[in-house]
């Protein structure tokens, strides 16, 4: 059951697709207090209550004990003291005597105090104009399913986007890209895509290609496609202020940019220096900006990543002027501790300033709206602009699209990656814990920068991250300029890296099938253990193991120098240990706590009782997802009685998701696995 409560005059965000009648009641499930400029909701939490959700956030799967702020923020230092990251995902679930979800549909700042101020109280503070949905259900899965139906079907990426992808800020030209491709090919390591960061552009200008670096870009794209390698360019939110630049001039001529208080085009700065922001909340401007993706698509591009779309601001023209004047006034003064730190904070305050976000405006459906009131929608609507354009440019084809910033509702148009993380072990654990929270909010096509974006990764960290990353739909190795190169062939002997990435390709038939079921049936691909074992009190407290699809549980290693870890099994399971697609060992473990050894080159996962797992039986010729079409299959199964598996397979590129031809029911009895736990497909 879903109840809808409307406060004030809420902005239509586009998050919800299902019509829900307004509940005419002054009393919510929780206490509520409508103040002059905000709505505050209170909910008493019992000691055993667990709070799930909030999508892309810091800390654990259970969100109790901290405050989280939905306020999309360009901040690459994702330590556990931070309250905001790049996305705003205002949905949580209370798992107590009563199970219910809360969705706060407000595109401005929302604060979720989940027991930080008072350990027994959940307090949600939001603006006075909002819609609040209360979703009740008999189980955690039922609450999620209702919410997912409320907000619409998740984006489905092309099948090639489930292959291994390589990115780095710093691939400057064709030569650099060719070196990356040959580095993988010469070492026999599968590779599906190489990314183009801001270096490919002419002067950091959107929808341009530097002709000196890429003199025959369309031919280069085609050259790579013949090798089944896709090029995926970045698109940033800011349009460079430059006479003669067609995107800038068209935006000026048609009034497509955000405005300041005086009605002038708001000027900020990012990579190219001064920029204007396309007013993607304006339908005409959004259609115009989305149409610009055509330029790259006509040259063979079939995947994009949208970045800097919180929107990130290095500085605004007006704020920079004020800060420089204030700094100039300090010249020749004796700066004591207070004045020095004031100076330091003054400079740091230039970037992503709340004052800047309060100083520019959108034209949304003919209504002038201050950006701070819709701040969390910008990344959503930039990605929607692209997705809607793709429907016109190539309506039957799936295009890879994901974004850094997002709001609930964007999941219908693209995925996300979890932003500019660091090569820290703690960030690997955070990535594991973010996945189910993002799935609850409809974001299925997601993953983190494997190995860490910032800082220098290490061989062991990269191996362990890959061992988790083989299960995430987006499997991308990405690093920053100036850091250690982290293409997997940069670390000496490539045997372990090659085998782990090949295991990913062996798993794709299962992973893709489970992803498609989750998308088409409004369910979760990643789940906390408590979703599958609601009566198991110990399962509720597990923070570092996940269910993946219907058949398996994973327990990644995420600590330095570890040669194993403790695992909790909520039922008897089959442990599968793989050092390559060909090398597997099996062991049945009883319910309970176990210490398991996990070598640095080993992938370990667990198959549920009376469940099966489909793998591609790889040969050395398999280098991309396209090659999987020629592979045979094998089943891993733990079937003491019988099992049934619904296998999904389509062409991987069209939008004919619902064809009955895509589904196959596979049935097994214990006799099928009488010789062990492996069955070759006939």
Strand 446-447 and strand 415-417: the pairing is parallel
- Provide φ and ψ at 203, rounded to 5°: 65, 30
Q: What is the Cα–Cα distance from 598 to 648, expressed in whole angstroms?
A: 31
Helix (H) or strand (E) holding 664: strand 663-669
Q: Do you find a cis peptide bond into 570, omega within 30 degrees of 0? A: no
Structure tokens at 640: 């003491």
Q: Which residue shows structure tokens 């940019």?
A: 257
Q: What is the Cα–Cα distance from 627 to 643, expressed in whole angstroms?
A: 29
| Coil, helix or strand at residue 426 | helix
Q: Which of 310, 487, 602, 650 is catalytic?
A: 310
| Coil, helix or strand at residue 58 | coil
Q: Which of 113, 129, 279, 420 is catalytic?
A: 420
Cα-based angle 259, 262, 267 (whole degrees, multiple of 5):
45
* Phi-psi label, residue 546: left if phi above 0, alpha if psi -120 to 50, beta otherwise: beta
| Coil, helix or strand at residue 657 | coil
Residue 37 annotated as catalytic: no
Structure tokens at 340: 């020095």
Structure tokens at 44: 């008493």
Beta strands in 173-219 (DSSP E): 193-196
638 and 608 in contact (C-beta within 8 Å)? yes
Structure tokens at 105: 């549909």
**Distant-in-sequence, close-in-space partners of 154: CB < 8 Å, separation ≥ 6:** 148, 411, 412, 442, 443, 444, 445, 518, 519, 522
Residue 310 annotated as catalytic: yes
- Provide φ and ψ at 38, rounded to 5°: -160, 160
Q: Which of 113, 307, 356, 467 is catalytic?
A: 307
- Provide φ and ψ at 586, rounded to 5°: -130, 150
Q: List, by residue number, the catalytic residues.
A: 307, 310, 420
């Amino acid at each position: 059951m879903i109840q809808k409560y409307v406060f004030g005059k809420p902005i239509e965000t586009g998050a919800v697709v299902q019509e829900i009648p307004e509940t005419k009641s002054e009393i919510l499930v929780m206490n509520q207090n409508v103040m002059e400029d905000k709505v505050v909701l209170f909910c008493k939490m019992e000691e055993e209550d667990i709070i799930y959700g909030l999508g892309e956030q810091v800390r654990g799967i259970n969100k109790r004990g901290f405050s989280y702020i939905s306020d999309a923020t360009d901040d690459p230092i994702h330590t556990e003291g931070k309250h905001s990251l790049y996305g705003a995902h205002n949905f949580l679930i209370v798992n107590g005597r009563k199970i219910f979800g809360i969705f706060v549909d407000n595109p401005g700042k929302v604060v979720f105090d989940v027991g930080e101020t008072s350990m027994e109280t959940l307090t949600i503070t939001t603006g006075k104009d909002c819609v609040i949905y209360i979703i009740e259900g008999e189980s955690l899965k039922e609450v999620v399913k209702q919410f997912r139906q409320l907000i619409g079907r998740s984006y489905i990426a092309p099948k090639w986007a489930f292959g291994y992808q390589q990115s780095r800020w710093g691939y400057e030209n064709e030569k650099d890209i060719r070196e990356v491709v040959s580095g993988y090919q010469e070492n026999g390591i599968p590779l599906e895509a190489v990314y183009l960061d801001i270096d490919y552009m002419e002067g950091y200008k959107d929808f341009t290609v530097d002709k000196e670096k890429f003199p025959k870009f369309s031919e280069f794209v085609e050259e790579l496609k013949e090798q089944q390698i896709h090029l995926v360019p970045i698109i940033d939110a800011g349009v460079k202020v430059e006479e003669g630049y067609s995107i800038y001039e068209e935006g000026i001529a048609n009034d497509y940019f955000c405005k300041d208080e005086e009605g002038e085009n708001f000027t900020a700065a990012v990579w190219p220096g001064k920029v204007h922001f396309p007013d993607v909340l304006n339908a005409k401007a959004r259609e115009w900006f989305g149409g610009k993706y055509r330029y790259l698509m006509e040259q063979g591009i079939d995947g994009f990543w949208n970045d800097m779309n919180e929107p990130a601001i290095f500085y605004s023209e007006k704020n920079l002027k004020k800060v420089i004047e204030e700094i100039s006034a300090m010249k020749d003064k004796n700066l004591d501790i207070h004045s020095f730190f004031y100076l330091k904070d003054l400079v740091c305050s230039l970037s992503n300033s709340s004052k800047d976000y309060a100083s520019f405006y959108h034209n949304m459906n003919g209504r002038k709206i201050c950006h701070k009131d819709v701040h969390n929608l910008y990344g959503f609507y930039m990605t929607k602009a692209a997705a809607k354009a793709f429907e016109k440019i190539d309506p039957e084809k799936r295009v890879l699209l994901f974004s850094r910033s997002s709001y609930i509702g964007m999941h219908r148009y693209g995925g996300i990656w979890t932003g500019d993380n660091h090569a820290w072990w703690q960030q690997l654990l955070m990535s594991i814990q973010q996945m189910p929270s993002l799935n609850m909010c409809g974001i299925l096509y997601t993953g983190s920068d494997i190995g860490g974006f910032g800082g220098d990764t290490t061989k062991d960290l990269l191996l362990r991250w890959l061992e988790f990353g083989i299960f995430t739909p987006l499997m991308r190795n990405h690093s920053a300029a100036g850091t250690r190169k982290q293409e997997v062939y940069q670390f000496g002997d490539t045997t372990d890296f090659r085998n782990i990435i090949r295991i990913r390709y062996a798993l794709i038939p299962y992973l893709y099938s489970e992803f498609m079921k989750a998308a088409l049936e409004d369910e979760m691909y990643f789940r906390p253990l408590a979703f599958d074992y609601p009566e198991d009190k110990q399962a509720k407290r597990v923070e570092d193991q996940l269910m993946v699809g219907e058949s398996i549980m994973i327990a990644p290693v995420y600590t330095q120098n570890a040669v194993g870890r403790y695992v909790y099994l909520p039922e008897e399971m089959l442990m599968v240990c793989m050092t390559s697609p060909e090398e597997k060992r099996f062991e049945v473990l009883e319910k309970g706590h176990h210490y398991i050894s996990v070598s640095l080159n080993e992938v370990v996962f667990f198959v549920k009782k009376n469940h099966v797992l489909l793998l591609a039986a790889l040969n050395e010729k398999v280098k991309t997802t396209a090659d999987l079409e020629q592979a045979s299959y094998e089943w891993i199964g733990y079937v003491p009685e019988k099992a049934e598996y619904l296998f999904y397979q389509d062409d991987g590129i069209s939008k004919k998701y619902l064809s009955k031809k895509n589904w196959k029911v596979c049935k097994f009895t214990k006799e099928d696995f009488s010789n062990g736990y492996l069955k070759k497909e006939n």
